[in-house]
Amino acid sequence: DWNAGNVIAEQVARIRHQIGTGRVICGLSGGVDSAVAAALVHEAVGDQLTCVFVDHGLLRQDERRQVEEDYVKATGVRLITIDAEKQFLDALAGVTDPETKRKIIGREFIRTFEQAQADLVAETAADGDPVRFLVQGTLYPDVVESGGGSGTANIKSHHNVGGLPEDLQFELVEPLRALFKDEVREIGRQLGLPEVIVARQPFPGPGLGIRIIGSVDKERLEILRHADAIARAELTLAGLDNSIWQCPVVLLADVRSVGVQGDGRTYGHPIVLRPVSSEDAMTADWTRLPYDVLAKISNRITNEVKDVNRVVLDVTSKPPGTIEWE
Ligand code: XMP
């Protein structure tokens, strides 16, 4: 019988054995896997662990606070946040091609994380015990997938925290390698992590950067962040979080349409809602959300979000559509 408590005890013992008195670093993404992996390592070796969180400016509303405050409060981990918004937005300026955006974000991410890593190694080397271990939130399905060696076409270049180059001077610590996602969530709960993190739906590494169709800038990000926050809040309020896989909210930044508001004509952007149901994200169907929930989301977004005058619903399954628009 599977038991979270036993798995935690077993992993804590293993991690202690592997790391000994060494120092260890972990990148947090705000997602479930890195959060639980770090919490397990912290449980095992306490302040020998330092976590690094890169704020690339493409996060959703409240995500940074949830990591910096809620997660840190629940775990007591030592956290360094890197403010990299300007660097990412400068690198993305004027870029519209989806794959180019993904590559830029992935590249900047690796640069930023490696710099933080190097700084920490240097700092800890000064006291004679440099960081030598790197935590990764690899799950069992990731292990199977990457070991499969099947020749599947690369449809989108994926980017994940810790998707680092091979020239590792670090030894990997991967406490979730034998686990499935629902088991990871259970362990997170047992370790007292906040529900907003443990129950989080999938969110792509490149963040809101690939949910703006067109080039990415601060103003567009603010529009999308606001619309996304409204959609998420209403879905949660309607009790639908567990019946959808995820619901990307997409800004068609280069499209405008005519509308009317109050006494005046508007010429604003459409927001796309992309609610999907899925088992594993390989295939998906569009979720038949209740009309009253859609109406509420639409009313609130068009009333509250600057420059948005239309909300549209994506009714495409995967395939042929992908879940994300880019
Ligand atoms: P697509 O758009 O390919 O997405 O149908 C499948 C699932 O993967 C998520 N996704 C990503 N996750 N890094 C991630 O960690 C990425 O670069 C990335 N791109 C897409 C997407 O949200 C969906 O759950």
Q: What is the pLDDT of residues 107-157, one digit of tens each?
A: 999 999 999 999 999 999 998 999 999 999 999 998 887 764 444 456 777
Q: Is the pLDDT of residue 205 over 60?
A: yes
Spacing of C-alpha 173 from chain mean position: 20
Q: Is the pLDDT of residue 264 over 70?
A: yes
**pLDDT value at position 301?**
98
Q: Say how far apart CA 177 and CA 92 lie, in whole Å.
A: 34
- Strands, DSSP E only, in the chain? 23-28, 49-55, 78-83, 131-135, 171-173, 212-213, 249-252, 257-261, 264-273, 276-277, 285-286, 308-313
Residue 214 marked in a binding site: no
**pLDDT value at position 194?**
95
Say how many Å lie between the CA of residue 132 and the centre of ligand 1: 30
Q: Is the pLDDT of residue 162 over 80?
A: no
> Given pLDDT bands bounded at 50, 70 and 90, which one contains residue 168?
low
- Prediction pTM value: 0.93
Residue 150 marked in a binding site: no
Read off the pLDDT of residues 17-46 as tens digits, 9 standing for 90 and up.
999 999 999 999 999 999 999 999 999 999
CB 75 within 8 A of CB 38: yes
Which of 255, 274, 252 shows the shortest CA–CA distance to 322?
A: 274
Domain boundaries, the chain: 4-198, 211-313
**pLDDT value at position 155?**
73
% of residues, the chain, pLDDT over 70: 94
Residue 13 marked in a binding site: no
Asked if domains 4-198 and 211-313 share a fold, the reply is no
Read off the pLDDT of residues 307-320 as tens digits, 9 standing for 90 and up.
999 999 999 999 99
Q: What is the four-CA torsion angle of 227, 230, 234, 236, rounded to 10 degrees?
A: 100
Instruction: Give CA separation, 17 vs 45, 124, 132, 202, 226, in Å.
Output: 10, 21, 14, 32, 46
Task: Tell me which CATH code domain 211-313 carries.
Answer: 3.30.300.10
Spacing of C-alpha 195 from chain mean position: 15
Say how many Å lie between the CA of residue 325 and the centre of ligand 1: 10
Say how many Å lie between the CA of residue 103 and the centre of ligand 1: 14
Residue 23's contacts (CB-CB under 8 Å, 6 or more residues apart) are 48, 49, 50, 124, 129, 130, 131, 132, 133
CB 38 within 8 A of CB 28: yes
Ligand 1: atom nearest CA of 155 is: 3
Nearest CA to ligand 1 atom 4: 323
Q: Say how far apart CA 103 and CA 121 lie, in whole Å.
A: 26
**pLDDT value at position 150?**
43
Residue 34 marked in a binding site: yes
Task: Tell me the three state secondary structure of residue 98.
Answer: helix
Say how many Å lie between the CA of residue 246 and the centre of ligand 1: 11
| Ligand 1 binding pocket includes 158 (Cβ within 6 Å) | yes
CB 38 within 8 A of CB 77: yes
Read off the pLDDT of residues 85-112 as tens digits, 9 standing for 90 and up.
999 999 999 999 999 999 999 999 999 9
Mean pLDDT to the nearest integer, 225-248: 97
Mean pLDDT to the nearest integer, 184-193: 98
Q: Is the pLDDT of residue 167 over 60?
A: no
Ligand 1: atom nearest CA of 245 is: 24
Fold of 4-198: Rossmann fold (3.40.50)
> Given pLDDT bands bounded at 50, 70 and 90, which one contains residue 169?
confident
